[in-house]
């Protein structure tokens, strides 16, 4: 009977020897399922302009945005300061703008409005004006010669 024992014994060892690698494979497979190389995401990086509400002009980067705003007659336009420096919203013609630099050569205030916009977040960082007559209304920022814009009022 010892003959059969010697036959069974290696079989049992073999079964045990097969079970261990299977467990290791199962465990390593589990580890391998963990996120390894991260896939590059495109959710960040693209810089988009902040959404602009209707009839709102924002001063940002020494510019009025949008530069040319068209509204219907009777519309109240609001300017808001988008940065930490002061600006003005000054009604009047501007001209002789250098195409390369955007710097104006002339400015002629007409007295329709002339508001000092406080830096963003401070009291007075917005200004509103209601346009009651159709026309093209140029305006500018007094200290910054690149800030030249218009409001077009349609009937
Ligand atoms: Cu300015």
Ligand 1 centroid from CA 141, angstroms: 5
**Ion ligand 1 neighbours, Cβ < 5 Å:** 87, 141, 144, 147
C-alpha–C-alpha distance, residues 142 and 87, integer Å: 7
Ligand 1 centroid from CA 88, angstroms: 6
For residues 67 and 7, the model is more confident at: 67
Domain edges within the chain: 1-31, 56-154
For residues 114 and 10, the model is more confident at: 114
Model confidence over 12-34: pLDDT tens digits? 444 445 444 444 444 444 444 44
Is 56-154 in CATH node 1.10.357.10?
no
pTM: 0.66
What pLDDT, on the 0 to 100 scale, is given for residue 47?
53
Q: pLDDT band for position 54 (50/70/90)?
A: confident
């Amino acid at each position: 009977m010892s003959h059969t024992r010697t036959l069974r014994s290696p079989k049992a060892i073999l079964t045990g020897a097969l079970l261990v690698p299977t467990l290791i494979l199962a465990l390593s497979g589990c580890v391998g399922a963990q996120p390894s190389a991260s896939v590059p995401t495109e959710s960040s990086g693209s810089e988009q302009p902040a959404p602009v509400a209707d009839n709102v002009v924002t001063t940002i980067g020494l510019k009025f945005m949008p530069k040319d705003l068209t509204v219907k007659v009777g519309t109240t336009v609001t300017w808001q300061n988008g940065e930490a420096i002061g600006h003005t919203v000054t009604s009047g013609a501007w001209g002789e703008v250098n195409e390369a630099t955007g710097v104006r050569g002339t400015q002629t205030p007409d007295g329709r409005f002339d508001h000092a916009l406080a830096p963003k977040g401070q009291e007075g960082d917005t200004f509103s004006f209601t346009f009651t007559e159709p026309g093209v209304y140029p305006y500018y920022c007094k200290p910054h010669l690149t800030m030249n814009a218009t409001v077009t009022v349609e009937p």
